[in-house]
Amino acid sequence: MGLDITVLAVDWEWLEGTAVEDRYGLLTHAACYDDEFSWDAEPQRGWAWPAAPDVPWCGRYEFHSTTGSYKPHFWAGQPWDDLREHVVPEGREHLDAFLRDLIWDADGDAGADDGVIAGLFPANRRLLLICPPATVHALTLHWARVEPLLEGLREPYGVHSARPGRWIEDFGEFSVLLRESGTVVTEAGRRGWGLVGLPLWPRAVAVPAPTSRFPALSG
């Protein structure tokens, strides 16, 4: 059993308008919402809107390319480390910025987001990804510059980064993961929403929503 990631697009105003002690529980409920979940069922891929009927300010994205596992996201920075010095400066600058906020820990600073997390969630709650709307907007701009250059990385990737046995073995796996990440930030950015990635071990049951205060929904 390994660590899974579920990425949620979140209306930040609703998140900040929800009691701090309820936020993580509501997002976990939205990430795991599926009354008919079973290990034999084919997991849904792509977007689910809303993520849960009782959390309408949240959408859920399940990656096609990783089957829910966090490991490909975690290890995608490894081939980029090998490749980046062989990429033209414009592509390197924008892909550095795109990956840094999503999957690439360029400085090895695991606590870099603590200041952001501290104001949103209880200190003992671990997150794999947190991007407020302003960060998502910046990511969409970087992705718009990266996407047209992506195919041009195929040849240098094959020379410098392809490694059989890696979680990201070849350019195909790398580019598919990046394109899915681009899909996620583009849709969240279009809505003006933020992103949260929850660390979830494989789920066998749906997670009930907290019974404490829900934000009142207005028509």
pLDDT for residue 184: 96
Tally of CA atoms within 13 A in the half-sphere of 135 that contains its CB: 19
For 164, other C-beta atoms within 10 Å of its C-beta total: 6
- In this prediction, residue 56 carries a pLDDT of 95
SS3 at position 82: helix
Model confidence pLDDT, tens digit, residues 50-102: 999 999 999 999 888 777 788 888 888 889 999 999 999 989 999 999 998 88
Q: Tens-of-pLDDT digits for all 219 residues of the chain?
A: 468 889 999 999 999 999 998 999 999 999 887 643 444 555 567 899 999 999 999 999 988 877 778 888 888 888 999 999 999 998 999 999 999 888 765 554 444 455 456 578 887 777 889 999 999 999 999 999 999 999 999 999 999 998 887 888 899 999 999 999 999 999 999 999 999 999 875 443 344 454 433 343 333
Cα–Cα distance for residue pair 47/110, rounded to 1 Å: 28
Where are the chain's structural domains? 4-200
H helix and E strand count, the chain: 9, 5
**How many other β-carbons are positioned within 10 Å of the β-carbon of residue 5?**
24
The encoded tokens of residue 105 equal 């820990």
Handedness of CA 195, 199, 201, 204 (dihedral sign): negative
Which helix (DSSP H) or strand (DSSP E) does residue 71 occupy?
helix 71-75
Taking alpha carbons only, the member of 22, 80, 84, 83 closest to residue 54 is: 22
Q: Residues near 132 by Cβ (< 8 Å), separated by ≥ 6? A: 12, 116, 194
